[in-house]
Structure 1
């Protein structure tokens, strides 16, 4: 993962944690309501983080698949060139 992406994710997590902690400290509600609110916020943050990570994983998969496709194409071309050279050498040896 790129350093900037990692820092952004860490910043997101730290911000969510700081916001939750601030909410707990200044909450005028009953403990049970505060716990429900915290639980809801944590679930939402977790959902957002999961979605972000899934998007990053999908993007990485696409990039890897593209590299594989390009590499296979290059390998196929190299294989064809080697076959041509071998055939040339075999023909030359027969003459």
Structure 2
């Protein structure tokens, strides 16, 4: 399938999704429940995403801290070796 066909299909799919969502959101009284359901699901997704981002951030912070400690310890070790070499010479 060439690039033009992919773009046409993607545009059609995006338009269909946008149309369906617009229809749901603008539906009369019977769509009220649907809009509430979409709102609740959006809130759940937002909370889940927020929690996932926070967990990823905490994991990265822990890993960074651990690596920093390792590098500092190795740097101190190398500094001590250099001091010993200076004393011996």
- CA apart distance, 1:82: 0.4
Please, which runs of 5 or more residues in structure 1 have no aligned partner?
Answer: 1-12, 25-33
- What are the equivalent positions in structure 2 for 1:57-72 lying under 5 Å apart? 57-72=50-65
Q: How many residues align?
A: 73
- What are the equivalent positions in structure 2 for 1:1-95 lying under 5 Å apart? 14=18, 15-21=20-26, 23-24=27-28, 34=29, 37-95=30-88
For 1:44 and 1:17, locate their aligned partners in 2 and report how far apart those are by CA, in whole Å: 15
User: What is the root-mean-square deviation in Å for CA atoms of aligned residues?
Assistant: 2.6
For 1:85 and 1:20, locate their aligned partners in 2 and report how far apart those are by CA, in whole Å: 65
Please, which runs of 5 or more residues in structure 2 have no aligned partner?
Answer: 1-16
TM-score (norm 1): 0.61
Query: Relative contact order (alpha carbons < 8 A, sep ≥ 6): 1 or 2 greater?
Result: 1
**What SS class does the counterpart of residue 49 from structure 2 fall into?**
helix
For 2:21 and 2:50, locate their aligned partners in 1 and report how far apart those are by CA, in whole Å: 22
